[in-house]
Amino acid sequence: MGAMTHDQAHDAAPHGGVFSYTQEHFEALADAALAHAKKLGASDAAVSVSESLGLSVTARCGEPETVEHHRGKSLEVTVYLGQRSGSADTADFSAASVQSAVQAAYDIARFTAEDPAAGLPDAALVAQADAQPDLDLFHPWAIDSAQALALALRAERAAYAVDARISNSEGASVWAGQRHFFAAHTHGFRGGLASSSHGLSVTPIAQDASGMQRDWWQSAARDAAELAAPEEVGRIAAERTLRRLGAQPLTTRQCPVLFEAPLALGMLGIVLRALGGGALYRRMSFLQDSLGEEVLAAHLDIDSDPLVPRALGSSPFDGEGIRLAPRRVVEGGRVQGYVLGSYSARKLGMTATGATGNVRLTSRVTQPGDTFDAMLERMGEGLLVTELIGQGVNMVTGDYSRGASGFWVQGGRIAHAVEGVTIAGNLRDMLRDVQAVGADAYTHGALTSGSVLIGKMTVAGEG
């Protein structure tokens, strides 16, 4: 698909022709900013210098629709005066502008109230420069707008070719992005890396006597060579769209609910938010004070591994420079640890863990053969959910109520499409009632999960 080889990618970054600035230039800018902060009287300071560039195109109904190029750069600095802090940024890398940004951050800190939790991460938690593994995250895509549009059109044509009922399209998109940065602070952190992220998606529309439906599919990767072919993305998107035709309502009932894998990622994300320091110290989490408690079904584990080579959620350190390592967030349904940055850790009287990366939900009772079809058979009769509508999640109480579309399943097989229903429950009950996680793993960004079967939820429909 036009991707560079591994060697070509590293030849191009970031000292080659991909970026306008070298990593050495960024290091010099960061050092200058830190030195000026110290000269002004800062007790501590942190700086990050970055550059990004990318291409995004959209085609719709066989014609080019949008072409967007972007290129940006930024220097961001935070200055600490004891427990007071201030931040500023600039897109001008001249010496005068960098000093002005540091001065602005310093002035803000002077007039900011003291916060006992403010400050850089403890030096013992910082990722040292000689212990930062190369995770092979940078694979620039040598593609221009004409080539990207051609790929988008191929994906859309493939969707149209599946069935004459694919009569329209919300468009197909191709994107390619590259970024590099260097960050440093006065607690000993120095680190930077280059990364890339590319993708392809298509959203076809199908129509017959029953009405009109749409669905989508996409592929994303660090390396464009690992993207699915446009024809495959278009075919899957079309098949997903066609199966939604003839959707019917349901009467209100309680029944098992199977969340398709892409939607199960949303539930995994909710759990991580609820275990995040920001929600916990504000007491805005339905998993408050849950350390060591069984909050998920006893057969469930949640693992984080930020060191997977080439993965979209990988990094050897987080945004504060805290070193990252594989960890188990939930084991056997019990919370093993929260997700804490320096600020939230201090608010909670705990030790910072750094961010999570490449988070995977797994089940100890799910067998390797539990494909999507096996999950349907396991459910027997119930609602398969493939689309959720609205934001009906209360992070404090765990109450969950969202509009849904999908399919009614009978005898372990899809019987007909369903729309116009609402599914409701409480997340605490739902998470403990997970019967299985399928082997049909789906990854988006840093999250991976198979389909998730919940034993019983309320499905509100007609009557």
pLDDT in tens, 329-376: 999 999 999 999 999 999 999 999 999 999 999 998 876 668 999 999
**Residue 262 domain-assigned?**
yes
What's the rounded Cα separation, in Å, for the pair 372 and 414?
12
Instruction: Write down the pLDDT at residue 2.
Output: 37
Instruction: Write down the pLDDT at residue 365.
Output: 81
What's the rounded Cα separation, in Å, for the pair 298 and 193?
39
Do 202 and 268 sit in the same domain of this protein? no
Give the mean pLDDT of 406-427: 97
Tokens of 319: 């945004």
> If DSSP codes are grouped into helix, strand and coil, which group holds residue 261?
helix
Do 85 and 115 sit in the same domain of this protein? yes
Give the rounded percent of residues in the chain with a pLDDT score beyond 70. 95
Task: Give the dihedral of Cα atoms 281, 284, 285, 286; nearest 10 deg.
Answer: 140
**Residue 385 domain-assigned?**
yes
**Residues 183-192: pLDDT tens digits?**
999 999 999 9
Q: Which residues contact 42 (CB under 8 A, 6 or more apart)?
A: 79, 80, 81, 106, 109
**Residue 381 domain-assigned?**
yes
Do 233 and 293 sit in the same domain of this protein? no
8 A C-beta contact, residue 301 and residue 437: no
What's the rounded Cα separation, in Å, for the pair 52 and 274?
31
Do 283 and 231 sit in the same domain of this protein? no
**Residue 247 domain-assigned?**
no
CATH number of the domain where residue 96 is located? 3.30.2290.10
Do 264 and 218 sit in the same domain of this protein? no
- Final residue of a structural domain among 214, 242, 270: 242
Do 288 and 180 sit in the same domain of this protein? no
Instruction: Write down the pLDDT at residue 370.
Output: 87
C-alpha pair distances (Å), 355 with each of 32, 197, 272, 277, 316 = 28, 19, 10, 10, 10
Do 187 and 280 sit in the same domain of this protein? no
- Residue 265: give the domain boundaries: 253-460
**Residue 1 domain-assigned?**
no
* pLDDT tier at 130, thresholds 50, 70, 90: confident
8 A C-beta contact, residue 428 and residue 286: yes
* pLDDT tier at 131, thresholds 50, 70, 90: confident
Do 232 and 279 sit in the same domain of this protein? no
pLDDT of 14 above 50: no
**Residue 68 domain-assigned?**
yes
Do 219 and 269 sit in the same domain of this protein? no
**Residue 248 domain-assigned?**
no
Phi-psi category of residue 179: left, alpha or beta, with phi > 0 → left and psi -120 to 50 → alpha? beta
Do 440 and 293 sit in the same domain of this protein? yes
pLDDT of 16 above 80: no
- Final residue of a structural domain among 198, 218, 242: 242
Do 74 and 161 sit in the same domain of this protein? yes
- Final residue of a structural domain among 222, 242, 262: 242
**Residues 290-333: pLDDT tens digits?**
999 999 999 999 999 999 999 999 999 999 999 999 999 999 99
Do 224 and 274 sit in the same domain of this protein? no
The pTM of the full predicted model, rounded to 2 decimals, is 0.92
Q: How many domains does the chain have?
A: 2
Q: In residues, how long is the chain?
A: 463
What's the rounded Cα separation, in Å, for the pair 265 and 392?
16
The full 3-state SS of 79-123, as one line of letters, equals EEECCEEEEEEECCCCHHHHHHHHHHHHHHHHCCCCCCCCCCCCH
